[in-house]
Amino acid sequence: MEGADYAVAVHEPETICEKVAYLSRRSWEVFSSDIKYAYCLLGSMAFSLTPLAIQVYLVQWITSFVDSGYLESEEVSKKLLAKISVLSIVFLLPAVPLIGKAVDKISEQVMIPIAFFIRMVMCLIMVFCVKVPDSWLLTFVIVMLTLATAVE
């Protein structure tokens, strides 16, 4: 009987506005209870947006070499981009379990700054050292950016 009283006393949000308000309130309670939840949310947002931004920039940068005549055609630029993407995945897949173990053992206060630092260094290398799209340095930079993003 006591369980039935509890079920009646709980008010479930019915409209979309009530559901949004309830979820917003509950999210605020959770995020304000411990700062690590906010860091997790920010890390998740950066993790999901960074690869997209890298790919968009990379596509534009590589296709600019078609216009300059360095690459023969857009087909060659697409193959080059596919090669870089596949190599990133090939290196990322075996690294994910190792990254997972490292993240479990090392504090996020250490891992996230390390990941950001690695990404910053790789971006600087990309901007100042990578001059052509078919170099192994570009492939290394993209692979390391992908791995550092996974560490986040």
> CA 129, 116, 140: angle at the middle one, nearest 5?
40
Does residue 41 lie within any of the structural domains? no
The rounded distance, in Å, linking the Cα atoms of 30 and 94 is: 33
pTM of structure = 0.63
Tell whether 3 and 70 lie within a shared domain. Answer: no
Q: Residue ranges of the alpha helices (H) in the chain? A: 2-9, 16-33, 35-68, 74-105, 108-128, 136-151
Please list the ranges in the chain whose pLDDT falls under 70. 1-11, 13, 46-48, 50-51
Domain that holds residue 62: 46-151
Tell whether 145 and 112 lie within a shared domain. Answer: yes
| pLDDT, position 19 | 84
Tell whether 22 and 50 lie within a shared domain. Answer: no
Tell whether 53 and 11 lie within a shared domain. Answer: no
1: which residues sit within 8 A by CB, 6+ positions away?
Answer: none
In the chain, the largest separation of any two C-alpha atoms, in whole Å, equals: 80
Tell whether 65 and 112 lie within a shared domain. Answer: yes
The rounded distance, in Å, linking the Cα atoms of 91 and 96 is: 9
Tell whether 71 and 124 lie within a shared domain. Answer: yes
| pLDDT, position 136 | 92
Does residue 40 lie within any of the structural domains? no
Tell whether 141 and 107 lie within a shared domain. Answer: yes
Q: How many domains does the chain have?
A: 2
Tell whether 73 and 130 lie within a shared domain. Answer: yes
Tell whether 23 and 59 lie within a shared domain. Answer: no
Side-chain half-sphere CA neighbours of 120 within 13 A = 6
| pLDDT, position 57 | 83
| pLDDT, position 137 | 93
Tell whether 60 and 133 lie within a shared domain. Answer: yes
| pLDDT, position 2 | 52
Q: In this structure, which amino acid lies at residue 53?
A: A
